[in-house]
A and B are shown apart, each in its own frame.
Chain A
Amino acid sequence: GESVGLHLPTLSVQEGDNSIINCAYSNSASDYFIWYKQESGKGPQFIIDIRSNMDKRQGQRVTVLLNKTVKHLSLQIAATQPGDSAVYFCADWSSSASKIIFGSGTRLSIRP
Chain B
Amino acid sequence: EAQVTQNPRYLITVTGKKLTVTCSQNMNHEYMSWYRQDPGLGLRQIYYSMNVEVTDKGDVPEGYKVSRKEKRNFPLILESPSPNQTSLYFCASRTSDSRGTDTQYFGPGTRLTVL
Asked if A and B bind, the verdict is: no
Contacts from A to B (Cβ < 8 Å):
none
Contacts from B to A (Cβ < 8 Å):
none
